[in-house]
Structure 1
Amino acid sequence: MTATLPDTTEQKWPDRLWVVRHGQSAGNVARDRAEAAGLPLIDIATRDMDVPLSALGERQSLALGEWFRDMPADERPNVVLCSPYVRARQTTQLVMQAAGLSDPDGDGELRITVDERLREKEFGILDRLTRLGITQQHPQLAEQRSHVGKFYFRPPGGESWCDVILRLRSVLETVTREHRGERVLIVAHQVIVNCLRYLLERMDEAQVLETDRAGDVPNCAVTWYAFDPARGRRGKLALQQANFVRPVADAGEAVTAEPDQPAAPKS
């Protein structure tokens, strides 16, 4: 009896993958205010995971949703994953509302899957500190971070970029296992966007840090990939656009690119 060989031509990836940073948040605004005033601490009372969108962030999210709405129905997202943080969930809900995204089976609104692996990088002891605050309160950590670099530096109680990448590897395993051939929208945070790019574009440390140095990921910017069957034995996702802000700009809304807190110096 002849053994049946596995089908190596089966598509592994989604047809489309959009990765979006949340809209401008109240935390982004508070951080800018603290930096401008030369303060050591970002004045915001809520936990980072509970920080909501600003009014501008809400409008940015609606503008992005209108961009998705203008796509043909069979090209819009049919799978939505997002970070559990309030600002990401609000962005996702507003995008879906403006896009008119609904369940393709007719069972109502398209379901949002909240995935804790898409949460913001955890800053640990450096949470809510500005550049000045980090230097004043933790000079040894600031020196260590400068020496080691942000890719490997892990603040006490927090994460390095490598830690974030480790959890995102399992996110991509879920996406390839459960959503092959589908159109997947991910709404998360700046570091998540860059670390997913690291994985999907097969970057190394120098390349992802150069991408980060080139500029902060704008709020509601879209980085998206399309499946290319010609790449590899079963095809791969190919980058189409990175940090695409035209949906927000065309709606007449301000394009903002504030880093998430804390505002440690770039490596």
Structure 2
Amino acid sequence: MTNLYLIRHGEAWANVQPILAGMQGDKGLTPRGVKQAERLRDRLAHGELKADVLIASTLPRARQTAEIIQPALGLPIILDDEVQELRLGEVDGMTNQEAWAIFGPPDFEQYPLRPIAPGGESWGGFMLRVAEALTRITREHAGKSIVLVCHGGVIDGAFMHFFQMPSNVLPPTDFHTRNTSLTHWEQVHRRGRLLWRLNSYNDIAHLHDIGATESVRWEDTDLQAPGGHPASPVPTE
């Protein structure tokens, strides 16, 4: 039986500042994000999760989260570029306002196959990459318990992939994945074949007394406000 545990990174500077954070713009975790990851580490140290493999996105905020929880799992970290958040291309490291002034705000609702910027990904391309990465990882480690430290958009993509939702358009649902939350998928034999079953989503029991503040979302803030985010639906950072 294969178990896949998806962990979103702790709160990152990219979650509280209007910075587009790929490899250049990612400044890692905030102090609150470090504390969240430490709480998860302490929770996992009690043996709740018996992992065989620990994989992390190469983006600093995910890698730092994996390094914090690694002692609780006692496993080497396998870094994987293919479970990064949506790739930003030329806007990496810019503020939202700087990027949209040059390239225009992304509109994945109307144009899901248009890249966010030159060298970046479209929504459809991102979802395809996530699906391919999850297929490869679960096949390479079939029968094991896999911990994957990644991003909100990757966890969104897991829903699209395992539920076989159309991946070239935005879903008619809104995901709300919290920092350092646990999402557990289990592969089981049902109806004469292997199926993926969702056992839990957004488990943040380890944050019960410090909470998990919602990250800044571009579509919920005023573009005209200083440092504001434009009103465009894009994946969770």
> Which is richer in strand?
2
Distance (whole Å) between structure 2 residues aligned to residue 208 and residue 51 of structure 1: 28
Q: Give the Å deviation of 1:183.
A: 0.5
Instruction: Say whether 1:255 aligns with 2:227.
Output: no
Name stretches of at least 5 consecutive residues in structure 1 with no aligned partner.
1-10, 32-41, 103-109
For 2:185, the equivalent position in structure 1 comes to 225
Q: Give the Å deviation of 1:260.
A: 7.5
Instruction: Say whether 1:241 aligns with 2:200.
Output: yes
Distance (whole Å) between structure 2 residues aligned to residue 215 and residue 167 of structure 1: 19
Q: Which residue, out of 36, 43, 56, partners 1:82?
A: 56
Q: Give the Å deviation of 1:192.
A: 1.2
SS of the equivalent of 2:193 reads coil
For 1:106, the equivalent position in structure 2 comes to none
Identical aligned residues as a percent: 23
Q: Give the Å deviation of 1:225.
A: 1.0
The aligned amino acid for 1:221 is: S
For 1:27, the equivalent position in structure 2 comes to 14
Q: CA RMSD in A?
A: 2.9
Q: With structure 2 as the length reference, what TM-score do the two structures score?
A: 0.80
After superposition, the Cα gap between the structure-2 partners of 1:159 and 1:259, relative to the gap in structure 1 and judged at 3 Å, is farther
Distance (whole Å) between structure 1 residues aligned to residue 47 and residue 188 of structure 2: 20
SS of the equivalent of 1:20 reads strand
> Which is richer in helix?
1
After superposition, the Cα gap between the structure-2 partners of 1:225 and 1:215, relative to the gap in structure 1 and judged at 3 Å, is closer
Distance (whole Å) between structure 1 residues aligned to residue 143 and residue 180 of structure 2: 25
**Which residues in structure 2 correspond to 1:1-267 (within 5 Å)?**
14=2, 16-31=3-18, 42=19, 47-48=24-25, 50-72=26-48, 75-97=49-71, 100-102=72-74, 110-127=75-92, 128-130=94-96, 132-133=97-98, 136-138=101-103, 141-142=104-105, 145=107, 148-149=110-111, 151-155=112-116, 156-205=118-167, 209-211=171-173, 214-230=174-190, 232-248=191-207, 250=208, 252-259=209-216, 265-266=232-233
Does the 8 Å CA contact 2:41/2:69 hold for their aligned counterparts? yes
Q: Give the Å deviation of 1:191.
A: 1.2
Does the 8 Å CA contact 2:124/2:168 hold for their aligned counterparts? no
Name stretches of at least 5 consecutive residues in structure 2 with no aligned partner.
219-228
**Superposed CA offset, 1:150-176 (max 9, x none):** x32312221012212222233223223
Larger radius of gyration: 1
Does the 8 Å CA contact 1:194/1:208 hold for their aligned counterparts? no
Does the 8 Å CA contact 1:60/1:220 hold for their aligned counterparts? yes
After superposition, the Cα gap between the structure-2 partners of 1:206 and 1:244, relative to the gap in structure 1 and judged at 3 Å, is farther
Distance (whole Å) between structure 1 residues aligned to residue 182 and residue 216 of structure 2: 16
Distance (whole Å) between structure 2 residues aligned to residue 60 and residue 223 of structure 1: 16
